[in-house]
Amino acid sequence: MQRIELLAFGQTEEILGAQSVTLELKEDLIVDELRAFLEKEYSRLSEINYSVALNQKGVEGSEKIKEGDIVAILPPFAGG
Amino acid sequence: MKKRERYKRQLLLPEWNEEVQKKLDQSSVLVVGAGGLGAATLPYIAAAGLGHTGIVDHDHISRSNLQRQILFKESEIGSNKAERAAQFLQDLNPDVLVKPYPFRLTEENADDLISQYNVVVDCTDSIPVRYLINDVCVSQEKPIVFGAIHRYEGQFAVLNYRGGPTYRCFFPENKGRITSPNCEEEGVLGSIAGLIGLYQATEVLKILTELGEVSTSLTIIQPWKNETFKMYKERNDRQVEIARNNSSKRSRPDERKVRLLQTKELMDWASDYPHALVVNMTGGPIREVNLSQLEFPGSNPDQLYMEDRERALLVVCSHGINSRSASEYFIEKGFNKVFHLEGGIQKFREE
């Protein structure tokens, strides 16, 4: 298992109920698996569009997440 | 002289000089949305001497806008936002040109409107319009200064700038999922709209003066929590392709078909499109159409560049068979005005 810090913004923060949460995840988890995990834990996440960043870098679904990585989920804001 | 006095404080800035000021004066920007973001961006770009600003907004001023859309006055409730904002800017700086467009940016008018400006500032409150702006700007190779707000926080980035990431690179579209609600539904703090709008104004000035470091990463500011976050992203070819495909499907549906040209119509056609390119499928260089001697130099379609897409194309071959399928190919590639010579060169020579 590995410990990951997850940051959330805008609507994703409102769904998680906190700006940051610490997650216990299996080793060598990829981004798509993280999404599936999060959407199971927080089902309203599956209704909105958001991107995932690892250490501030936007990543695709097959990227691996390592212990100590800072993971962020970011939705597009609509307001103007 | 009056101009020098008006811009005196910025002309004193290191790097900023008369040359820079002139560059700004010769630039044009289209601001889409004159709401909270636009109300902050617009006066600062016009005051700094940006030569030509277009403002698109179909909406009318309501009392609940005044909490953040500080260009507008109580007495202006009910007036169109683009028109009122344009008047505000014109009073602020009579030396610049401001053009209001009191209607919505749509799939029908976006290509034409955007083609008239150097940079687009995305100050809308609608995610579908943000994708539309992205797709048009990708196909026209123009930078977007993007900004958006949500309650106590905001995000901004310069998109599609010198090979940098686009809106779709940061936020690939996922049509199955609902998009974020806007200020009407979620609430927003007026000063946050102001902050993001001012970041956008600053990015516009950086792009146009070519001074400073343009911010092509996505910045999320959370002034309420005293936090800032940045996300870096590389340009994603697949997302760029999606934007381009959407643009070629969208642009001028009536023109997006191969048009047949009869041999006898050729002379009239050539005077209608004096700068048309002739693509001869039998090989050789692509040339502009030559009115005095309608000849068909052979050409290689690979020599056509994306920037030629707004020009008319005449596709010819010996018998008008290969050129027919080639014409479809150019439509797919995003060319709008594609003509196909029926019967080919053979028939033209016979007549």
Say whether residue A43 is in contact with chain B using an 8 A CB cutoff. no
What pLDDT is recorded for position B310?
A: 73
What pLDDT is recorded for position B281?
A: 77
Counting one residue from A and one from B, how many pairs have CB atoms under 8 Å apart?
Answer: 104
Nearest to A80 by CA among B121, B328, B264, B95: B121
3-state SS, residue B166: coil
Q: Which of B192-196, B255-259, B296-300, B304-308 has the highest mean pLDDT?
A: B192-196
Distance from CA of B226 to the nearest CA of A (A): 13
| Edge-to-edge order in the sheet of strand A57-58 | A20-25, A2-8, A70-74, A51-54, A57-58
What pLDDT is recorded for position B304?
A: 67
The pLDDT-based confidence of B291 (bands split at 50, 70, 90) is: very low
Distance from CA of B41 to the nearest CA of A (A): 11
* Probe site for chain A from B229, B234, B236, B239 (most A CB atoms < 10 A): B229
Contact yes or no for A80 and B232 at CB 8 A: no
Does the pLDDT at position B334 exceed 90? Answer: no
Looking at residues B93-119, what average pLDDT do you find?
Answer: 96
Does the pLDDT at position B239 exceed 90? Answer: yes
Name the average pLDDT for chain B: 89
Does the pLDDT at position B343 exceed 90? Answer: no
- Model pTM? 0.77
Say whether residue A53 is in contact with chain B using an 8 A CB cutoff. yes
Q: What domains sit in chain A, N to C, each tagged with a CATH number?
A: 2-74 (3.10.20.30)
Nearest C-alpha in A relative to B146: A80
Q: What domains sit in chain B, N to C, each tagged with a CATH number?
A: 2-250 (3.40.50.720), 259-350 (3.40.250.10)
What pLDDT is recorded for position B348?
A: 79
Does the pLDDT at position B333 exceed 80? Answer: no
Say whether residue B305 is in contact with chain A using an 8 A CB cutoff. no
Distance from CA of A13 to the nearest CA of B (A): 11
Please report the sign of the dihedral spanned by the C-alpha atoms of residue B259, residue B263, residue B264, residue B269. Answer: positive
Say whether residue B151 is in contact with chain A using an 8 A CB cutoff. yes
From residue B326, give the alpha-carbon distance in Å to each of A71, B216, B282, B302, B318: 48, 38, 12, 12, 13
What pLDDT is recorded for position B327?
A: 82
Length of chain A: 80
Q: Which of A20-24, B172-176, B195-199, B288-292 has the highest mean pLDDT?
A: B195-199
A8-58 tens-digit pLDDT = 999 999 999 999 999 999 999 999 999 999 999 999 999 999 999 999 999
Please report the sign of the dihedral spanned by the C-alpha atoms of residue A19, residue A25, residue A30, residue A32. Answer: negative
Quote the CA–CA distance of B176 and B174 in Å, as a whole number: 6
Say which residue, B204 or B287, is predicted with more confidence: B204
Beta strands in B293-348 (DSSP E): 312-316, 337-341
Looking at residues B56-66, what average pLDDT do you find?
Answer: 97
The pLDDT-based confidence of B294 (bands split at 50, 70, 90) is: very low
The pLDDT-based confidence of B288 (bands split at 50, 70, 90) is: low
B183 an active-site residue?
Answer: yes
B137 an active-site residue?
Answer: no
What pLDDT is recorded for position B277?
A: 81
Say whether residue A10 is in contact with chain B using an 8 A CB cutoff. yes
